[in-house]
Amino acid sequence: MVTTSFDVEREYDDQRFSAQSVFRSDRMKVVLGYFEPGQFIPVHAPDSDVAITVREGRGVVRDGDDEREVGPGDVVVVPAGDERGVRAGDGDRLEATLVTAPPPTDAEHDPVREGLKRGEFEPRGPERTK
């Protein structure tokens, strides 16, 4: 059994969102995400389902072309293969649990690393014109 809390794991980073991994197996990964206002996980489309539960703050979860505003207590599930991203509101820190099944591969997270490097929430490439 793994036990922890948001208070124990809490770590913010001025440069980018902070992901504190609390569990990983071949079937599932559980991360506590800490976002300063405006920070984000860039839009990407791994071959895994994700369930996001907002604990504190406000933000937006992207599912394909749809954006859903989220706040404390909201739960959003995005199916595998759909483009998804998370962005904290401009005035709020955001804390959330992100559960992915199965865990994304390292290659599937390349768009996340590239988006963070460029400071871009939206992906670039031939499939997107934004």
Instruction: Residue 60: give its domain's CATH number.
Output: 2.60.120.10
- Give the domain extent around 77: 14-118
Band of the pLDDT at 126, cuts 50, 70, 90?
very low
What local confidence, expressed as pLDDT, does residue 61 receive?
Answer: 97
Domain count, the chain: 1
pTM of the model as a whole: 0.91
Query: Which strands, in side-by-side order, build the sheet including 66-70?
Result: 40-44, 84-88, 59-63, 66-70
What local confidence, expressed as pLDDT, does residue 124 receive?
Answer: 66
For residue 127, being part of any structural domain is answered with no
For residue 130, being part of any structural domain is answered with no
Q: What is the pLDDT of residues 35-83, one digit of tens each?
A: 999 999 999 999 999 999 999 999 999 998 899 999 999 999 999 999 9
- Measured CA to CA, the distance from residue 16 to residue 33 in angstroms comes to 11
Band of the pLDDT at 123, cuts 50, 70, 90?
confident
For residue 55, being part of any structural domain is answered with yes
- Measured CA to CA, the distance from residue 67 to residue 13 in angstroms comes to 25
Confirm if 95 and 88 have CB atoms less than 8 A apart. no
What's the mean pLDDT in 106-116?
91
For residue 107, being part of any structural domain is answered with yes
Confirm if 52 and 75 have CB atoms less than 8 A apart. yes
Among 7-16, 81-90, 121-130, the range scoring the smallest mean pLDDT is 121-130
